Amino acid sequence: MSSHTVIFLIIFFALISMSFAQQTEIWGKVFNGTEDSSLVNNAEVELLIYRGHQLIDDSSFVSQTNADGVYRFSQLPLDSLLLFYPRTTFHEIVYYGTGVRATKKWHSFQNDIVVYDSTSNKNSIYVAMEHIFITQEKGVVTVKEVLLLTNRGKRTYLGVESATTNINYVLQFPLPDEAENLEILTPEMQNTAKIENGTLYDTALFSPGSKQISFQFQILYKGNEWQFNRAIIYPTGGVNLFLSDANLKIDGPNIKPMGDFNIKGKNYQHYSLQQYLMPGMPLAFTLKNLPRQTMDIKWIVLTLVAVFLVVGFIYTFLKK
């Protein structure tokens, strides 16, 4: 073999290697988490491709799991700006794998997808922890609730239809009667939340695992006390209350002061509810030592001016 032939073959195989190096592969298995992670065959898997937050392709790449529950996407573009998400539909519910970003160091990724059977029974829904943050300013109490919810079962919870509305909801959170200016703080919930008859509903399906939900509302209070009272919907393992104002106090059944607590450089008074709450039980406490609201001086002046004008008008009219 001549030296020219050897050089040609070396260059040829180098080019072949470079072409393969510029591609990536994503593969994985589809498991049924309800059936002890049994493999799911003949499941159609699609690949979503994002550049940043923009979906650029959701139809070009489709695969199907084989008898071993394995899907595979080969010859994908090697571009570190692209993010790949595999997804599949099981019992009319869409499930996703994790996002994958290809790099020059890694060209093949295993990305498994777990699917579940479904249920409309909420017995597996549990509030592992609830934090309530309370602040007050100028006659307004702001209540921020942060809940860590867990689906402890092996099925995706579909929810039920509300008895008083036409909403098919998954989770519900009653609000105090006087609640105003409700704000959803969890980004994922902003597109799935609905408010009807003083109740916040979340319509997103709840697969096994945990998720956090956070929202806040405001209360206009009178006097120096305000009572919080709402029913418990899901079994709740622990409730912590945090006050940003050192002058405020909380009083309620089984609520005990736990001292100061620092969160991200801010000091709070920490209270803990020493009780396991079951559905139907009330979560109730009284916020005390609220500052009494006084009328602003400008309104006092305006009121006095109005009184003098009225008296002057009446006096002039009677004199005539």
Full set of structural domains in the chain with CATH: 21-115 (2.60.40.1120), 125-288 (2.60.40)
In whole angstroms, what is the distance from residue 246 CA to residue 290 CA? Answer: 11
pLDDT confidence of residue 53 = 85
In whole angstroms, what is the distance from residue 315 CA to residue 284 CA? Answer: 55
pLDDT of residue 78 exceeding 70: yes
pTM of the entire structure? Answer: 0.79
pLDDT confidence of residue 309 = 66
Which phi-psi region, left, alpha or beta, contains residue 166 (left: φ > 0; alpha: ψ -120 to 50)?
A: alpha
Which phi-psi region, left, alpha or beta, contains residue 44 (left: φ > 0; alpha: ψ -120 to 50)?
A: beta
- Mean pLDDT throughout 179-200? 93
- Mean pLDDT throughout 31-57? 94
pLDDT of residue 34 exceeding 80: yes
Q: From residue 138, how far is each of 89, 181, 219, 291 by CA, in Å?
A: 51, 16, 11, 8
pLDDT of residue 59 exceeding 90: no
First to last CA, the chain: 130
Q: From residue 185, how far is each of 57, 174, 180, 197 by CA, in Å?
A: 30, 16, 15, 20
pLDDT of residue 21 exceeding 70: no
Q: Which amino acid is at 263?
A: I
pLDDT confidence of residue 305 = 65
Per-position b or e across 248-279, b if 16+ CB within 10 A of its CB: bbbebeebeeeeeeeeeeeebbbbebeeebee
* pLDDT greater at residue 227 or residue 315: 227
pLDDT of residue 19 exceeding 60: no
pLDDT of residue 191 exceeding 70: yes
pLDDT confidence of residue 18 = 45
Provide CB contacts within 8 A for 242, sequence distance 6+: 131, 132, 133, 134, 261, 263, 268, 269, 270, 271
In whole angstroms, what is the distance from residue 144 CA to residue 183 CA? Answer: 9
pLDDT confidence of residue 164 = 75
Provide CB contacts within 8 A for 51, sequence distance 6+: 81, 82, 83
pLDDT confidence of residue 318 = 65
pLDDT confidence of residue 116 = 97
Percentage of the chain lying above the pLDDT 70 cut: 83
